[in-house]
Chains A and B, each alone.
Chain A
Amino acid sequence: MVEVKGVTKIYNGKTVVDNVSLTIPKGKITSFIGPNGAGKSTLVSMMSRLLSKDQGEIHIDGMEIGEYKSHDLAKKLSILKQTNHLNIRLSVRDLVSFGRFPYSQGRLTKEDQDAIEQSLAYMELESMQHQYLDQLSGGQRQRAFIAMVLAQDTEYIMLDEPLNNLDMKHSLQIMRVLQRMVDELGKTIVLVIHDINFASCYSDYIVALKDGKVVNQGMKTNIINENVLKEVYDMDIHIETIRGNRIGIYYT
């Protein structure tokens, strides 16, 4: 369980995340939604210790993240940011192998190799494992990065806009695989996502943020409704239930 207690982040006098408290339940998909600048990415970065927090505490399985040893935390929690530009040329397999670093410290054992094979297979990347990342399409590259996170074999996985720049087909592919990871492997996934309909169809819990504050949080059925979304986005979003999913219609 991840517990966020009164976390605040201030950049140059501007409060980006303002006294946020929330709980991420285990074995579920939790989505962070909200307009640009709401502090979603900042919050996720603090929860995964990429950013320091100015106030508050973040507990993972009962322990403050600052008290974890770096390599211990890396076996418990992984984070994938939205931009994944690399300056070096890596093959898919090399990238996925990096996911084993917390365990191997660079010397891959048989066990590490098995984990790499498994995550490549899980993400259906075996056939392109020897291709270089710069030869892949955006969707394939994103899958390769998720395979790396999967090889890291952490209970908690945080993804900052994993669908950024992906087309519908690849977005769907990623969301389905995330759901499988929760159902089959028991992972706990935290997503920052802009498409409220993907959030509605795939997450269990939704946290709605605005101006650095939590506007509302809870089961997705309580969040995907016209009043809450109006408050979050300042626009009218018509909700309809289509094949059991609550879908927001806001295109016209």
Chain B
Amino acid sequence: MFKIHNRVLLLLVIVLVVAGAALPFINFAPNRLVSGESIALSKLPSHAWLILSVPVVILACLTLVRCRSSSLLVTLLMGELLFIAILWVMGRTATQFAEQGSTLARTSPGSGLWLSLTLCLLLCADAISRLTPKALWRLLLNLQIWIVPVALLWSGYFDSLSLLKEYANRQDVFDDALSRHLALLVGTLLPALAIGVPLGVLCYNRPAWQSSVFSVLNVIQTVPSVALFGLLIAPLAGLVKLAPWLGSLGVSGIGVAPALIALVLYALLPLVRGVVSGLQQVPRNIIESAEGMGMSRWQVFWQAEVPLALPVLLRSLRVVCVQTIGMTVIAALIGAGGFGAIIFQGLLSSALDLVLLGVIPVIALAVILDAFFKLFISLLEEKQP
């Protein structure tokens, strides 16, 4: 009688219902040091669960509808609506608790709420990828989900949440961490490109060098990041002792200098490998006919090999970017700063909100950069499949 047309949606809706019904939705603590009590969705004031169940029921019905663009649009709309509604309930509950309790009281999202938000995003992403194959449209549709949440955040609607109270307390630290994190990313990518690309081209032109270059880079890659950061402390400190003018440039055993060196070293393997495999997959016959038509070696390289190798190179650059953003967190251990500093401070003082304040922007940075690379690569590949 009923036929399930969208199984992915069905699965997501079932998990969504389970998460909403069984997992704690909101955590409430009288102050930031004690662990608070968890409150289920059904126990929230003024029957908030009734509002949230409306889009869930509609989504459940949509699993029975054939996947046409109209039904997918409704799915996307409902997913978005649910996403915004959950955030709205969260913000309103926090405000209500704040008005009732003391200023020290902390309201934070529970596991059920985090899971529901993630499921909503997954649900929207699935609907979007079924709606259009065009990378630009996918990105734009994914971006527009965030318009209302960001507007709510900006208007101060979530200010009573413990996460934002934490942010308000440490706004300067947070802003510093953001600019430091980005500076470390750029400071890693530029030298890595400057070394990695010529090294890759060299390896491509001299295949005999490939195995030795790759085995050195492989060894670097296998050293755990904490160990590499630690290993660099002694030689750099020694170097500064020998040449004190290096110290005046800001080089020292701990801090930014060893962090950048280690991050660049880690970035080299994927980058060099990307350059080499990018150049290798350029078809032989294209190079032969380019030479046969009288192009110089330089012209063949710039006009045929580079543009054809670019998508592969960009794909490895994307990996390097995401990897560097993550690894910069560890670099905070040797005093390089960035969001890692906030995360480790939170871990040491077991303040979960502080940890989240560091983790969420790191994830956001990685996701945003990844999305832009994906878009750029797919735009390039539309022209040359």
| A, B bound | no
